[in-house]
Chains A and B, each alone.
Chain A
Amino acid sequence: MAGSGGDERAWVRGAQTGSVSDLEALFRHHWPRAYRAAYLVVHDAAAAEDIAQESFLAAVRNLDRFDRRRRFGPWLHRIVVNRAIDWSRARSLRREAGDTALADAAAPAAAGNPHSRSLAGALAELSEEHRAVIVLRHLLEYTPGEIADLLDVPRGTVNSRLRRGLDQLQGRLGAELR
């Protein structure tokens, strides 16, 4: 990842004191992973945008209380991934015909994107819990111990979800998943 821990602390400090350029650096640095993580869990561009955007807004609202000795990324990713899991659970509980009753004019799907054909498609076959740990491990590059902290689950649970999820993914994607 571009941007060292020192950069990040400086951006947080600057954003806390009103610097727009530092806030923008923080936002631009973290947006792609936040959005991708949300998208790969929820498989809905509009929902991913909402989740990532609202997570950043939550961060901005709580900026003054943020402890600069901590890393910003894990704090943001915890919000993003947990919200994405909640959203997916809620949707799977109530998959009504009316879900598609109206056009989502704001964020139409991009059919040509590789996410929609391979990775995202394969991930969509997994449960939201399995998707989340795989996204945290392979997109956001957290260790299983860090994932356990982020999701408030035992480390053994993370390991088993990773193992089962990857087994299923490898069945679909073969050697592509590295």
Chain B
Amino acid sequence: MSWREPAPGEREAEERSWAIVHAAHAQREPLPRPRRNRAPLVVLATALAIAAAVLSPPGRAVLSSIRDAVRGERNARPALFSLPTGGRLLVESSRGVWVVQRDGSKRLLSGYRDAAWSPRGLYLAAVRGHELRALEPNGEVHWSLARRGRLALPRWSSEGFRIAYLAGRSLRVVDGDGTRDRLLARRAAATPPAWLPATHEVAYVEPSGTVRVVDADSTRTVWTGRTDRPFLLQWSDDGARLLALSERSLDVFRRDGRPSSSGPISDASTAAFLPGTHRIALVERFYDRSTVRLFAADDLGMRLHRIFAGAGVFGDLAWSPDGKWLLLSWDSADQWLFIRSAAVRKVVAVSNVVGSFGANPALDGWCCPP
């Protein structure tokens, strides 16, 4: 045995980490030095450094590593031929909302935005112009509701009898059949509301950053919790935990509003409970690298598992309805990754997402539980 032998992954990790440490160093303010007219020297040194980086084997390795990483997974499929498991996807882009079937066929609902599945996937709630509409996945509209202000972020309650949505700065609720539209809160932040499963209690974010849970029928406040202006709220399937994700922190509350855990994070973009568990997949970005990790909701100080890491920016996450697959959008590589369980250890990559769906594709959901 020798202590001097490299550990598994040491060399590859060194190149990845050097790129990140270098980037972090470049962004800091260096200590001041005596003023001299060094501009010509700096230009020359920079040119030489770049040339050295490109020409030297380590430099080529670093550059190659970064380029390969942002290129995404090798052997990616050129298009989404099918979903790896059951359900249907909802994808939003500059062209509208797409409904993607398991066999890969897809239908564009042109001009729609901010779409959300009803609990069993029979309907969508989506916004078109100044109207909130309930429609079938084939585009047939069942009802619509026009309101002042920018309508956004409709969300169905878990049994489908209520829809909460934003109208300008206010939070409103309408019954699932399009009747009894009413104001729930005059001021709400632009964060999607989240319904506590099997209830008519909905969590939303106030402009101050406070999370408030209210009974939508009685308008009674159930509890409030202090957070750092979260842009995402999500309940666990059993309703026992609520996550509130901000760019720099992740807070988890219990059903009664007591804090469960809280942790600082690095430039988070999204998070999602693993279906049927209290485990959270979190996407973080650190300089030019992004990571998806699994955390225990009640102990955010501990990372259970790193699911995937790569160069550039990751976008959305969506768990398959059966909880066996995780769909991760790798925006910098223009790929989607379907990541499967350890027994199979499989990653199915699909490239050309922008070409398939249009600019700025975003995952709005993978529906629906069996």
Contact = CB atoms under 8 A, between A and B. Distances in A.
B294 A98 contact: yes
Interface in A40-63: 40, 45-50, 52-53, 56-57, 60-61, 63
A2 to B, nearest CB: 12
B36 interface: no
A62 B199 CA distance: 49
B283 to A, nearest CB: 13
Contact of B17 (A23, A31, A119): A31
A110 B8 contact: yes
B81 interface: no
Interface stretch (B108-116, B125-133, B183-191, B299-307): B299-307
B205 to A, nearest CB: 29
A35 B7 contact: yes
A116 B8 CA distance: 8
Interface stretch (A11-19, A124-132, A159-167): A11-19
Interface in A68-111: 86-87, 90-91, 93-94, 96, 98-107, 109-110
Contacts of B326: 102
A107 B344 CA distance: 16
B140 to A, nearest CB: 38
Interface in B1-60: 1-3, 5-10, 12-14, 16-18, 20-22, 24-26, 28, 30-31, 33, 49
Given A48-B7, A113-B7, A103 B25 contact: no
A45 B8 contact: yes
Most chain A CB atoms below 10 A, which of B49, B279, B306, B339: B306
Interface secondary structure of A, over-half rule: helix
A115 B2 CA distance: 9
A22 B102 CA distance: 53
B180 interface: no
A71 B358 CA distance: 54
B340 interface: yes
A154 interface: no
Given A36-B6, A118-B1, A17 B21 contact: no
B28 A103 contact: no
A55 B318 CA distance: 31
Contacts of A118: 1
Contact of B10 (A35, A47, A50): A35
B22 A23 contact: yes
A91 B302 contact: yes
Given A90-B299, A103-B342, A103-B345, A109 B21 contact: no
A10 interface: no
Interface residues of B, number: 54
Contacts of B31: 16-18, 64
Contact of B309 (A21, A106, A113): A106
Contacts of B1: 114, 118-119, 173, 176-177
Contacts of A64: 28, 31
B274 interface: yes
Interface in B240-293: 274, 277, 279, 286, 291
A115 B5 contact: yes
A13 B30 CA distance: 11
Contacts of A110: 8-9
B6 A113 contact: yes
Contact of B49 (A20, A36, A103): A20
A103 B304 contact: no
Contacts of B20: 53, 57
Contacts of B304: 91, 94, 96, 98-99
B272 to A, nearest CB: 13
A61 B301 CA distance: 21
A94 B337 CA distance: 28
Contact of B30 (A16, A32, A113): A16
Given A31-B10, A102-B339, 10 more contacts: A23-B22, A32-B14, A36-B3, A45-B7, A57-B20, A98-B305, A99-B305, A101-B305, A103-B341, A106-B291
17 contacts: A39-B7, A39-B8, A57-B24, A61-B24, A63-B25, A87-B303, A90-B301, A90-B303, A93-B302, A94-B304, A98-B274, A102-B294, A106-B308, A107-B9, A107-B309, A115-B8, A119-B3
Interface of B: 1-3, 5-10, 12-14, 16-18, 20-22, 24-26, 28, 30-31, 33, 49, 274, 277, 279, 286, 291, 294, 296, 299, 301-310, 326, 337, 339-342, 344-347
Interface of A: 15-18, 20-21, 23-24, 27-28, 31-32, 35-36, 39-40, 45-50, 52-53, 56-57, 60-61, 63-64, 86-87, 90-91, 93-94, 96, 98-107, 109-110, 113-116, 118-120, 138-139, 173, 176-177
